[in-house]
Amino acid sequence: MMFSQHFPQHRPRRLRKDEFSRRLVREHVLTAADLIYPVFILDQDEGTQAVGSMPGVERLGRSALYRTAERCLALGVPVLALFPVIDGARKTPDGAEAANPEGLVPQTVRELKKRFPELGVMTDVALDPYTTHGQDGLLDDTGYILNDETVAVLTRQALTQAEAGVDIVAPSDMMDGRIGAIRQALESQNLIYTRIMAYSAKYASAFYGPFRDAVGSAANLGKSNKKVYQMDPANTDEALREVAMDIAEGADMVMVKPGMPYLDIVRRVKDEFKVPTFAYQVSGEYAMIKAAAQNGWLDHDACMMEALLAFKRAGADGILTYFALDAAEKLRQG
């Protein structure tokens, strides 16, 4: 119920006067437990590779990845999300390497869970790192992305990851019906505790560019796009339908991607469904803050923390962000 407030009986600035009272009435709080850290992994033991379009982000060999996992645990970041950088020789039109039980992702999952059993591990279910054409699915003779045939491959990929011991599979492909197919397959193999975080409202966004550089799919994709399966940025009601389908098919958590330009979608999803809702602060969002800060145009840490808090305010239960470790460090400092 709304009630009238009139000056001077009510002075909103009273509660803003001191730090203690600002903290006392703060509506939303960001913690390290809200963060998921996406990392790019290499099939090599040592070394790292800088991602030029994402300052401060590196592709990690195994040793560097294990150091990163240790840092996540020390800072209270609960989940590491893996994105593979696949050797070009292993890429094929059908992305068959995605379901290889001895591939980079399953091997990495097994080793991480062995070394750091208390750290949550999440894997991407999509074919674009594995295909010669850079699309998330199989192509017909005209170049159109096939749905049901792609879902069959994605299901095998998700099963391979789950059998390796991953905690969360995250289908990011936007094929119709893939959540139901994956859930049914997991249940049939008694993998009943493998969680699904569905990229339910993933838009055909221009903010993904640096990510595609990082995983090496940009060159394969070329001038093609993903508009026939990722969502139109103009649509919001459609996002609710996509989320509803994924929940009905067995998703445990849903995601909106990108993040900051789509906070209205995050809010609508949370208000409508009241399920665990996540947002991905994507590579382009990260790169913009980094570039502006490097030019002295923005305060890096202040903008980083404000942007992450905005996700919480919009209704996100958690955020995938390349700032996760830096933000957790900042939160620890108080």
Give the pLDDT of the chain (334 residues) as one tens digit per residue.
Answer: 667 888 988 899 999 999 999 999 999 999 999 999 999 999 999 999 999 999 999 999 999 999 999 999 999 999 999 999 999 999 999 999 999 999 999 999 999 999 999 999 999 999 999 999 999 999 999 999 999 999 999 999 999 999 999 999 999 999 999 999 999 999 999 999 999 999 999 999 999 988 877 876 656 666 678 999 999 999 999 999 999 999 999 999 999 999 999 999 999 999 999 999 999 999 999 999 999 999 999 999 999 999 999 999 999 999 999 999 999 999 999 7
Q: Please tell me the predicted confidence (pLDDT) of residue 114.
A: 98
* Cα–Cα distance for residue pair 114/112, rounded to 1 Å: 5
**Region of residue 81 (phi > 0: left; psi between -120 and 50: alpha; otherwise: beta):** beta
- Cβ-contact 325, 44 below 8 angstroms: no
Number of residues assigned to the chain? 334
Q: Please choose, from the candidates 148, 150, 124, 122, the residue with its C-alpha nearest in 3D space to the C-alpha of residue 135.
A: 150
Phi-psi region of 55 (alpha: psi -120 to 50; beta: other; left: phi over 0): beta
Distance between CA atoms of residues 38 and 257, nearest Å? 14
What is the per-residue pLDDT for 214?
Answer: 82
Both structure tokens of 237 = 């009601």
What is the distance between the alpha carbons of residues 34 and 328, in angstroms, rounded to a whole number? 10
Phi, psi (rounded to 5 degrees) for 183: -60, -45
What are the CA-CA distances from residue 67 to residues 76, 112, 228, 327, 328 (Å)? 14, 11, 39, 17, 16
Phi, psi at 51, each rounded to 5°? -100, 105
Q: Quick one: which of 208, 272, 227 has its CA closest to 246?
A: 272
Question: Which residues have a catalytic role annotated?
Answer: 202, 257
The residue among 104, 136, 139 whose CA lies nearest residue 123 is: 104
Q: What is the DSSP letter of 146?
A: P
